[in-house]
Structure 1
Amino acid sequence: MDRPSLAGLWDLLWPGAGPSRADLAVGAEDRAPLPYPSGWFCLALSREVPAGAVVNRRFMGRDVVLYRTRGGVLRVVDAHCPHLGAHLGAGGAVDGEHLVCPFHRFAFDVEGSCVRAPGGAPPRAALGQYPVRERGRVVYVWHGHDAVPPSWEPSELPDDRFAPAATWSTVLTSHPQEVMESFVDYEHQAVVHNVALREVKPPLEDGPLLRIAFGAAIRLSVGLGTIRVEQGLALSGLGLASGEVTLHQIGMTLGVVVTATPVGPWRTQLRVVIMTDAASRPDSPLLRKAAAMSLSAVAGQALMRTVVHHMVQDARIWNRKRYLPDPALTSEEGAIGQYRGWVGQFYPLEAPADRT
């Protein structure tokens, strides 16, 4: 029997729901793209970069390398060695607290400086580094225009009680601004997702953070029926939406993280992470804790399937829509207008709107 293709596997898991490979390539060249924004962007989950690991990622049209020293120090650096340009993610290795180039075995410390070269004194060379943070066991890297260092921090929610329980990722032919706009586009929830969403309070601007709160009745996909949820969400720039969602009927709070990382012009890596906190309750008796963990895992997986189903529905539109800098908004879409004004802070003032 023939082995199923990836597209066929997607259809088996999500019949009629998934974007095809052709969908992801449609229209990118004829839409007015936005510039790359500044801010914090997800490159990996912490567990994807254990001690001694060297991991490749694509970020804003270039290769970068994540690595963690044996002592646990995490770094994100330019992918190419400043000696003769070898790719550090293609055979490079961690040696104690150093990253070692595969070509001539030049070694670089955690500050990026070359500290060892075979057969002589190391040259005065350094790796370009990116500021990095780990929040909720997710790795974020900073991009600032003109190499400006971080001027703000991503939201602390969900806090350190939570850990990733379920994850999902795909690549969109879209831009982070378009993805994050969906969180304030309340009207599309009923049309696209058949969800009656209620705004609890208007979006609150807090510098580079935009805080929103809403309630809804959603149907989880594991037979739990329709449940009421309340969610507080913080948009940390255009790369991260994070917060906590309360499932009222089952008395549980889960963490939700949605990230949008530009990998190239009009190409965005979308990640969804559902987090649970049952394992971090030290006051729970053993059996009660085990039951809570089991229920938490079931609820987390159910919420993930629901969120992913909605994201796939949105992806059909994101992958083909055209960005309009001056949309014709209705009187009910004030939150979108507010969002469009808020996002301007993440772009260089002199950057034209049609260039990445």
Structure 2
Amino acid sequence: MPLPYPSGWFCLALSREVPAGAVVNRRFMGRDVVLYRTRGGVLRVVDAHCPHLGAHLGAGGVVDGEHLVCPFHRFAFDVEGSCVKVPGGAPPRATLAQFTVRERSKIIYVWHGHDAAPPAWEPSELPDDRFAPAASWSTLLASHPQEVMESFVDYQHQPIVHNVSLHEVTPPVDEGPLLRISFSAAIRLSVRLATITVEQGLVLSGLGLASGEVTLHQVGMTLGVVLMATPVGPWQTHLRVAVVTEAASRADSPRLRKAASMSLSAVAGQALVRTIAHQMGQDARIWNRKRYEPNPQLTPGESAIGQYRRWVRQFYPPDTWPTGTS
């Protein structure tokens, strides 16, 4: 690959995709992993293969109470990854490899660190657990998370590819593993609404997660948006977009007003996801065929791309980070 896998937090699923008792398969950085949730609600992400004889835990494995049970010899593993039960005799000292997991706003993230390093920072700027995805969309790209996230600071392509008039409000602000950007745009939502003005503050938490709030001025509403780029294999990225809204209105709101507010936010959320999905589809036609250019010949108006390229270096091992603008 012209770019290696980066360190950071990456989305593997929405919470509703992993209910209690479920065992779910995913690809992550060229390997199979399994997500499961115990009957008591404990969420875990583990290596897909049993350390006994290598059976795939996502091909017939089941949750039995608080244990994940292998389909081959019924070895049972607890939430710490230890083998605690076998059909006969004492269990061996077998351990199931686990990933560090976070569940925020009904979205599941795992950590990847080089040389198995523990999390060096936390995913930031995410709405709290009062919020949940109101609408979502995903696609598979022949690209890399660095390329996907770079589009947020590539302001010049917006009017050309998306026919969107976009203006940088403030230059990107580098805060360690976070990169803050702010812009305004005039867009048309994919419903029967006139063109509306959108202001968005966006925070890139590493190369796997961009989150922020979108203010729709004409309808007087603010929605949370989360864009997640997860490497599933060499130069393959699973891109997810979710619009998150508050699960309930104020406790003192009348019931009908609460229902109307939730309905309006859901409609606006679905419209915003369709709009973002349309634009990402336009980008995907380019991402899926473009070549990574390590030393781009930037114009004076593209300084944000140069700043972004310098910022991303921290997510690669020092001796392998990609060359780029300095």
Q: TM-score, normalised on structure 2?
A: 0.97
Is the partner of 1:335 in helix, strand or coil?
helix
Deviation at 1:278, TM superposition (A): 6.0
Where 2:218 maps in the other structure, the secondary structure is coil
Partner in structure 2 of residue 53 of structure 1: 22
What are the equivalent positions in structure 2 for 1:337-356 lying under 5 Å apart? 337-351=306-320, 353=322
Give how far 1:321 is off: 0.4
CA distance in 2, matches of 1:139, 1:199: 31
Would you say 1:322 and 2:288 are equivalent positions? no
CA RMSD of aligned residues (A): 1.2
| Kept after mapping to 2: 8 A contact 1:54/1:68 | yes
Correspondence for 1:92: 61
Checking the alignment, whether the CA contact within 8 Å between 1:157 and 1:244 is kept in structure 2 is no
Aligned match of 2:268 in 264, 286, 299? 299
CA contact (8 A) 1:158 1:256 kept: no
Q: Relative to 1, partners in 2 of residues 1:161 and 1:229: Cα closer, same or farther, differing over 3 Å?
A: farther
Distance (whole Å) between structure 1 residues aligned to residue 319 and residue 87 of structure 2: 46
Question: Is contact 2:35–2:43 with CA below 8 Å preserved after alignment?
Answer: yes
The answer to whether the 8 Å contact 1:278/1:296 transfers is no
1:129 aligned residue (98, 101, 104): 98
In the TM superposition, what is the alpha-carbon distance from 1:288 to its structure 2 partner? 1.2
The corresponding residue for 1:245 is: 214
Q: Which sections of structure 2, spanning at least 5 residues, go unmatched?
A: none
- After superposition, residues 161-240 of structure 1 pair within 5 angstroms as 161-240=130-209
**Which of residues 160, 183, 198 in structure 1 aligns to 2:129?**
160
Verify the 8 A CA contact 1:161 1:280 in the aligned structure 2. no
CA distance in 1, matches of 2:137, 2:62: 28
Asked if residue 259 in structure 1 is aligned to residue 218 in structure 2, the reply is no
How far residue 43 of structure 1 moved from its aligned partner, in angstroms, is 0.2
Q: Secondary structure at the match of 2:242?
A: strand
Would you say the 8 A contact 2:24–2:58 is kept in 1?
yes
Cα distance in structure 2, aligned partners of 1:298 and 1:205:
34
The secondary structure found in structure 2 opposite 1:321 is: coil
Give me the whole-angstrom Cα distance separating, in 1, the residues matched to 2:76 and 2:156.
Answer: 54
Structure 1 residue 286: deviation in Å? 1.2
Point out the more displaced range, 243-252 or 274-283: 274-283
1:145 to 114, 117, 134: 114
* Residues 231, 245 of structure 1: 8 Å contact kept: yes
Deviations 1:94-134 (A, max 9, x none): 11111000001001011101111111100011000000000
Deviation at 1:160, TM superposition (A): 3.0
Q: In the TM superposition, what whole-angstrom CA distance separates every residue of 1:132-177 from its partner, at most 9, and x where no partner exists? A: 0001110000000000000100013233332101111110000000
Checking the alignment, whether the CA contact within 8 Å between 2:249 and 2:258 is kept in structure 1 is no
| Mapping 1:13-32, distance limit 5 Å | none
Q: Which amino acid aligns with 2:300?
A: S
1:224 deviation in Å?
0.9
In structure 1, the residue matched to 2:254 is 285
Deviations 1:165-192 (A, max 9, x none): 1111110000000000001111111111
| 1-structure distance, mates of 2:322, 2:268 | 42
Q: State the 1:287 CA deviation.
A: 1.4
Which of 83, 98, 107 pairs up with 2:76? 107
**Paired amino acid for 1:154:** P
Q: Quick check: 1:135–1:156 contact (8 Å CA) kept in 2?
A: no
Aligned equivalents of 2:215 and 2:232: distance in 1?
32
Tell me how far apart the structure 1 counterparts of residues 46 and 258 of structure 2 sit (CA, whole Å): 41
Q: CA deviation at 1:294?
A: 1.6
SS of alignment partner, residue 191 of structure 1: helix
The percentage of counterpart residues that share the same residue type is 80
Amino acid at match of 2:24: V
Q: Partners in 2 of 1:292 and 1:168 — Cα distance?
A: 23
Whether the aligned pair in 1 keeps the contact of 2:249 and 2:261 (CA below 8 Å) is: no
> Cα offset for 1:352?
6.3
Letter in 2 for 1:125: A
Secondary structure of the equivalent of 1:295? helix
Count of aligned pairs: 323
The 2-side partners of 1:119 and 1:277 are apart by 50
Partner deviation per Cα, 1:199-224 (whole Å, 9 max, x = no partner): 11111111101111111111111111
Using the alignment, how far apart are the partners of 1:159 and 1:247 within structure 2?
Answer: 21
Q: 1:192 to 1:280 in 2, by over 3 A?
A: same
Q: Post-superposition, which runs of at least 4 consecutive aligned residues in structure 1 deviate over 3 A?
A: none
